[in-house]
Amino acid sequence: MLTKSIPEPFVPTRVFDAADIGGVLRLRRKELGYTQKRLSDLMGISPRLIGEIERGKQAVGLQKVLDLAANLGIDLTISIRGK
């Protein structure tokens, strides 16, 4: 994992589509001080793919999104609305 220790807590965010997830990942990447290029080098993927994920491009594979989230220290959870 690439994560640095950041003391402030991450505020839970509801997501409704790929662009919402990408926006959260972009904010976290910037909080950690990573450029798209640096993060892509560390993960062994292209900077273009990082950008596509952050923009919510529909054709990006879900596993790549999950990998990026994990490398940024983000846990994704699924919950039933109203519970």
Domains recognised in the chain with CATH numbers: 18-71 (1.10.260.40)
Distance of CA 20 to the CA centre of its chain: 10
Does residue 10 have a pLDDT over 70? no
- The b-or-e profile of 31-59 (16+ CB within 10 A means b, else e) is ebebebeebbeebebeeebbebbbebeee
At 82 the pLDDT is 78
At 6 the pLDDT is 43
43-47 mean pLDDT = 94
What confidence category does residue 9 fall into, taking pLDDT thresholds of 50, 70 and 90?
low
Instruction: Please say whether the beta carbons of 72 and 2 come within 8 A.
Output: yes
Q: Which residue has the higher pLDDT, 43 or 10?
A: 43
At 80 the pLDDT is 79
Q: Distance between CA 73 and CA 26 in Å, rounded? A: 12
Instruction: Please say whether the beta carbons of 56 and 26 come within 8 A.
Output: no
